Amino acid sequence: MSALEMVRDAVAIVLLLLGTFLCLTAGLGLVRFPDVLTRMHAGTKPQVLGVLLIMVGAAIRLQGWSATWMLLLVAVFQMLTAPVSAHMISRVAYRRRHVRRDRLMVDELNSGGGVRDRVYQGDEPADAPPEQPGAALAKSREEDEAR
Amino acid sequence: MTIVYWAAYGMLGAGALLALVRLGMGPSLLDRVVATDTLLVIIAAGLAVHAGLERDPTVVPVLVVVSLLAFVGSVSVARYIGGMLVGSADDGQDVGLPEAAEERAARAGEAPR
């Protein structure tokens, strides 16, 4: 085994071990953190950095272009989908009251109990628009003016 | 090399086990979704570690499927819960639902850590 191969293996193994360590920290955070948002923060650690490290390590060890491209595909896919699923889960968590509001420092979604627009609330399901958009918009404007 | 095997699979196994603990404890459906998501990522990481350590590229296509599955699962459950929402008029949260179990436990003085 030449010196170059040894260095390559050492780098790959260090990357793999770092990635597995991130998986361990994700499990610890999931168990110890107090609510959904903080658990999500811990749980997505291996989703991006851990997967990237492990994919790079495995690609160095596998030494084949087909395997490398597939590992790259997995890494890119993880980086594309992690924000989407995190956004959806955290939005539902906030609206379903699974967020510890006493531990939030800034709560920008809370309008302080004031009057809000009753027609457009900002995050309606996309498949349930107002039945008559024109009339709904007019009503919304009226409410704004009367306020 | 044996030490590397034990360390890598030990850390992966411990992480997966802790994610399973959270999956069992709940308390809410969303906690379980997050735990399942993490568990699938750890499984994918384990497959990649196996492929890397054994120089065995046969499991790499399985990796693609597992990472696709994690995303589809968590997004579909989140959509399912989100579809049940009723619009709220005051503070942007849903109306008529109980407060979070975590918050109740915190008020009782015994904050779950």
- Residues in chain A with pLDDT < 50? 114-115, 120, 122, 126-127
Specify the pLDDT at position A55: 92
Q: Which two tokens stand for residue B23?
A: 């999956």
Residue A77 distance to chain B (closest CA, Å): 8
Judge: A88–B11 Cβ closer than 8 Å, yes or no: no
Does the CA dihedral A21-A31-A105-B95 come out positive or negative? positive
Cβ distance A97 to B100 less than 8 Å, yes or no, reads yes
pLDDT at A43: 84
Q: Is the CB of B38 less than 8 angstroms away from the CB of A26?
A: yes
Distance CA B88, CA A123 (A): 11
Tell if the CB–CB gap between B92 and A111 is shorter than 8 Å: yes
Contact A77 B68 (CB under 8 A): yes
Chain A environment of B113 (Cβ under 8 Å): 32, 34
List alpha helices for B1-109, DSSP H.
2-25, 29-54, 60-82, 101-107
- How much is the pLDDT for B27? 78
CA distances (Å), origin A61, targets A50, A70, B49, B59: 17, 14, 10, 14
Establish whether this prediction's ipTM goes over 0.90.
no
With bands split at pLDDT 50, 70 and 90, how would you rate the model's confidence at B86?
low
Predicted local distance difference test score (pLDDT) of residue A18: 92
Nearest to B64 among A74, A97, A109 (CB): A74
Nearest CA in chain B to A120: B87
* Chain B residues within 8 A of A121 when measuring between CB atoms: 87-88, 92
Residue ranges per structural domain of chain A: 3-103
Tell me if B51 and A77 make a contact (CB, 8 A cut-off). no
pLDDT score for B29: 82
Per-residue pLDDT, A111: 58
pLDDT(B23) > 50: yes
CA–CA separation, B6 vs A61, rounded Å? 18
Percentage of chain B beyond pLDDT 90 is 28
pLDDT of residue A91: 81
Interface test mutation site (partner A, options B2, B5, B18, B94, max chain A beta carbons within 10 A): B18
What pLDDT, on the 0 to 100 scale, is given for residue A17?
92
pLDDT of residue B97: 47
| CA atoms in the 13 A half-sphere facing the CB of B23 | 15
- Is residue B39 pLDDT above 50, yes or no? yes
Please give the mean pLDDT across all residues of chain B: 79
CB A13 within 8 A of CB A58: no
* Cα–Cα distance measured from residue A91 to residue A46, given in angstroms and rounded to the nearest whole number: 21
**Residues B37 and B15: beta-carbon distance below 8 Å:** no
